[in-house]
Amino acid sequence: DTGVSQNPRHKITKRGQNVTFRCDPISEHNRLYWYRQTLGQGPEFLTYFQNEAQLEKSRLLSDRFSAERPKGSFSTLEIQRTEQGDSAMYLCASSLSRGRGDTQYFGPGTRLTVL
Amino acid sequence: RKEVEQDPGPFNVPEGATVAFNCTYSNSASQSFFWYRQDCRKEPKLLMSVYSSGNEDGRFTAQLNRASQYISLLIRDSKLSDSATYLCVVPWGSASKIIFGSGTRLSIRP
């Protein structure tokens, strides 16, 4: 399977714990994105990388959230001191920049439940 | 005005019917647009891209009206398998940031 993969698929944690999610993009894609989606809403942009550089971060990404893409391939999203409001589906997407509305391909997501 | 707005539905139509829904956007500088489909508890998947006035792919037609700043999705001869949430997507600011609408739920009944 050469699509976007995410691990874990599900994560249940207690409030206050730290969690880390991983995303492996489509191999030739240079752009990688993180989104958060809650029930009944569309995905909300969190951040994106071009190669290893993090080029944009949403104001939704509080200082408890950090994302990395150290070698321009896979990426991790860490949430520190989780809160119940962090419960959501965290989606990763990747694209190959073509300069006109990149098509983003999504992974299956990591569903986070904070108890 | 919200950046991207969609009628949340749900639209409940019989199999074989034609259904259409709109999406309005506030950024007049946006050049390309997308419709994604999302099944329950699955990831969004690209349905169609719209770069000029419109695009057609089989039973699906997307149209763009730049003057009124909306895009529409028309589904003809709807199938049970078309039941899903349809997300309107508009690029915003940088070339890669995109904004999703909240989605329109479509349910096709036998």
In this prediction, residues B56-78 reach a mean pLDDT of 93
pLDDT of residue A86: 96
Residue A100 has its nearest CB partner, among B31, B98, B102, at B31
Cβ(A41)–Cβ(B102) under 8 Å? Answer: yes
- Between residues A90 and B28, the one the model is more confident about: A90
CB contact under 8 A, B34 and A31: no
pLDDT of residue A57: 87
| Count of A-B CB contacts under 8 Å | 62
Cβ neighbours of A35 in B, within 8 Å: 100
In this prediction, residues A62-74 reach a mean pLDDT of 92
Whether residue A85 is predicted with pLDDT greater than 70 in this model: the reply is yes
Q: Give how far Cα A67 sits from Cα of A14, A72, B94, Å.
A: 21, 12, 19
In this prediction, residues B61-65 reach a mean pLDDT of 93
Q: Give the tokens for residue B43.
A: 């990831």
pLDDT-derived band of residue B51, with 50, 70 and 90 as boundaries? confident
In this prediction, residues A53-82 reach a mean pLDDT of 92
Instruction: Express each pLDDT in B81-102 by its tens digit.
Output: 999 999 999 887 665 678 899 9
Neighbour tally for A27: CB within 10 Å: 8
**Helix, strand or coil, per DSSP, at residue A20:** strand
In this prediction, residues B37-42 reach a mean pLDDT of 93
Cβ neighbours of A56 in B, within 8 Å: 94, 96-97
**Helix, strand or coil, per DSSP, at residue B21:** strand
Q: Average per-residue pLDDT in chain B?
A: 90
Instruction: Express each pLDDT in A13-49 by its tens digit.
Output: 999 999 999 999 999 899 999 999 999 899 999 999 9
Q: Which residues pair with A113 in a beta bridge?
A: A12
In this prediction, residues B7-34 reach a mean pLDDT of 90
